[in-house]
Structure 1
Amino acid sequence: MGHIKAYYEQITAISQADWQYISAQFERVRFLKGEVLTEKGDIERFLYFIECGVLRYYIPDDDGELTFGFCFSKEFASAYDSLLMQSPSTYRLQALADTIAWRISHDGLQKVYAKTQIGNVIGRYTAERLFLAKNKRELELLRQTAKERYLNLFAEQPEIIKRIPLKYIASYIGITPQALSRIRRQIC
C-alpha cells in the first residue's frame, strides 16, 4: 500500500485518518501473465493500482486485436468508462506480465468520495490526467506519422519499448508488425 500512499502524497497531503479509511477499501490481488482482468462485455467493478506488472488495453475482434493502451507500475488502471457508467466494457484489460495490484471496488470508491474530501481531490486529479493523456494520444494519431509516433515512444514512454512485444507496439501506433519492422530498419 505504500506505493498508493506515495502516489497520493505527490498530489496533496493526506491525514492519517483519511489514509486509514481509504486504505481499508483496497485489497491486494495477483494476476498471471495473459490473465484478463476485465472482459469485453463485462461491467468493470474495480479500479486497480499496479504495484508491479504490465497491463494492456485492447479491443478483440474477428480481424485480430487493436491495442490502444498500456499501464505500468505505480499507475491506476481500469476499464474506466465502464466503471464510471457501470455499463458493459467495449474492450479487455489483460496482464502482459505477472502483476500485483491493489484494487478498490466501485462501491468502495463511492464511499471514499462521500466520506473524504481528499478522495475527491485525488479522484479529480487522476481523472484529469487520464483525460489529458487520452487527448494527447488522439492528437498524435491524427497528426503524426507512424514513424513519428514510434520515435515519440523512445522519448516519452521508454518503458513501452523495453517491456512490450513488438506486435502490440505496432497495433498501439496503428500499423502492422511488418510496417513497424520497416520503420525500425530505417532508424537503425
Structure 2
Amino acid sequence: MTIDHILDQIYVIPESSKQTLKKHFNEVSFPKGHILLRADTVENSAYFIKKGIVRAYAKTPDNDITFWFGKEGDPVLSMNSYVANKKGYEDIELLEACELYQIKTTDLQNLFDKDIHLANWGRRLAEQELVKTEERLISRQFRTAKERYLDLLIQNPDLVRRVQLGHIASYLGITQVTLSRIRAKKH
C-alpha cells in the first residue's frame, strides 16, 4: 500500500502539505517475530503498514493477551506516547515480515505546529484510532465470543488465514478449544 493511499484514507490534505509530511517518512523492513514497540517505553516513532500484519498485546503473569491486529494501511503507534509522550502499555509484534513507513513523533508534532492541514490530519488519525478502540471495547463487553468471531470473519476475512489461531482466540477473549468449537459449528 502506498504512503499516499494511507495518508488519504486518514484525511485528505492539500498536496503541498502531503509532500511536506512525506519527506519525513522512511521505509523500513523487519522480519517476522520482531518486536516493533515495547511496553513501558516512550516510543519515538509512529509507523504505517505498507505490507504485513502485526498484533498488539499486553503481558500478564500467565500469558500474552492480544487486543489488536494491524494490517496493510493501518497505523502502528503507542497512543500514550503519541498523545501524551508517556510510556506505552503494549508490545507490538510482527506476525509476518513487514514493510513499514516510519516517522518520528517529534517530527509529526513539529509539523502539526506549522501546518493546520497536518494538524487536522493528526487529529483525524487520533479520532479514528479512538473510534476503533471504542468499537473493540463495546464488542468485547456486549457480544458473545461467537458473534465476535463472526464479526471478525466479516470485517477481516484474511486475518484467519494470516494469523495463528492462538492469537485470534486471545483477541476474542476465549481459549483455542472454544474457538475450535465455534469454528466447527460455523462450517
TM range (shorter): over 0.9
CA distance in 2, matches of 1:107, 1:129: 21
Counterpart in the other structure of 2:65: 66
Task: Please give the alpha-carbon distance, in whole angstroms, between the structure 1 residues aligned to 2:98 and 2:2.
Answer: 14
Cα distance per residue 1:34-78 (max 9 Å; x no partner): 000111111111110111011110012220110000110111111
Output the CA distance in 1 between the equivalents of 2:62 and 2:92.
18
Distance in structure 1 (CA, Å) of the matches to 2:18 and 2:153: 36
Match of 2:152 in 1: 153
Q: Which runs of 5+ in 2 are unaligned?
A: none
The equivalent residue for 1:178 is 177
Runs of 4 or more consecutive aligned structure 1 residues displaced over 4 Å after TM superposition: none
1:129 maps to what in 2?
128
Q: What are the residue-to-residue correspondences of 1:9-28 with 2, within 5 Å? A: 9-10=8-9, 11-15=11-15, 17-28=16-27
Ranges in structure 1 where 5+ consecutive residues have no aligned partner: none
Instruction: Work out the percentage of aligned pairs sharing the same amino acid.
Output: 29
Match of 1:187 in 2: 186
Residue identity matched to 1:12:
V
More divergent stretch after superposition (154-163 vs 174-183): 154-163
Which residue of 1 is the match for residue 48 of structure 2? 49
* DSSP 3-state at the match of 1:158: coil
Contact 2:39 2:90 in 1 (8 A): yes
SS of the aligned residue for 1:112 comes to: helix
TM-score by length of 1: 0.93
- Normalised TM-score (structure 2): 0.93
Distance of 1:75 and 1:122 partners within structure 2: 15
Residue 106 in 1 paired to residue 105 in 2? yes
**Mean CA deviation greater in 4-13 or 72-81:** 4-13
Over the residues paired in the alignment, what is the CA RMSD in angstroms? 1.4
Q: How many residues align?
A: 186
| Match of residue 40 from structure 1 | 39
User: Which has the higher mean CA deviation after the structures are superposed, 167-176 or 57-66?
Assistant: 57-66
Aligned match of 2:5: 6
SS of 1:114's partner is helix
Alpha-carbon distance in structure 1 between the residues aligned to 2:103 and 2:66: 25
Aligned equivalents of 2:21, 2:161: Cα separation in 1: 33
| Counterpart contact for 1:54–1:96, Cα < 8 Å | yes
- Structure 2: how far apart are the matches of 1:93 and 1:187? 30
